[in-house]
């Protein structure tokens, strides 16, 4: 079976640089054992991956924000209803205070 080959490199990008920048870049590439083309392709590939990762991070935080807003909205709607359901009323107390002495004993509470 044959080895998969990388896509053919047929496109070019022209970049204008001052001579000093080009000379320093070429010297750094030589020191790292790279051609200028390899170094530039590596830079472009890294930028594309970084941008893609940044988009995923933005999408993630957008989803977190939407979930938080939805949770707050649901809480704002549910809180008054829960407060009413959880706050005892005089009628609730009267149902428990079977002998109407103003004190709910454990026996009265258990008999509810």
Phi, psi (rounded to 5 degrees) for 4: -70, 135
pLDDT of residue 64: 79
Q: What is the Rg, in whole angstroms, of the alpha carbon atoms belonging to the chain?
A: 36
High-pLDDT (> 90) share of the chain, %: 2
Going by pLDDT thresholds of 50, 70 and 90, the confidence category of residue 109 is confident
Alpha helices in the chain (DSSP H): 19-32, 36-86, 90-96, 106-110
What is the torsional sign of CA 15, 21, 22, 24?
negative
Q: How do the domains of the chain map onto residue ranges?
A: 19-110
What residues have CB less than 8 Å from 112, skipping those under 6 apart? Answer: 95, 96
Q: Indicate the pTM of the whole model.
A: 0.42
What residues have CB less than 8 Å from 100, skipping those under 6 apart? Answer: 94
Across the range 35-43, mean pLDDT stands at: 87
């Amino acid at each position: 079976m044959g080895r998969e080959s990388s896509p053919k490199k047929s496109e070019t990008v022209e970049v204008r640089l001052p001579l000093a920048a080009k000379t320093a870049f070429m010297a750094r590439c030589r020191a790292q054992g790279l051609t200028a083309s390899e170094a530039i392709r590596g830079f472009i590939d890294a930028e594309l991956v970084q941008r893609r990762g940044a988009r995923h991070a933005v999408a993630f935080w957008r989803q977190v924000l939407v979930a938080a807003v939805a949770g707050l909205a649901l809480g704002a709607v549910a809180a008054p209803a829960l407060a009413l359901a959880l706050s005892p009323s005089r009628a609730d107390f009267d149902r428990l205070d079977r002998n109407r002495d103003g004190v709910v004993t454990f026996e009265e509470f258990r008999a509810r």
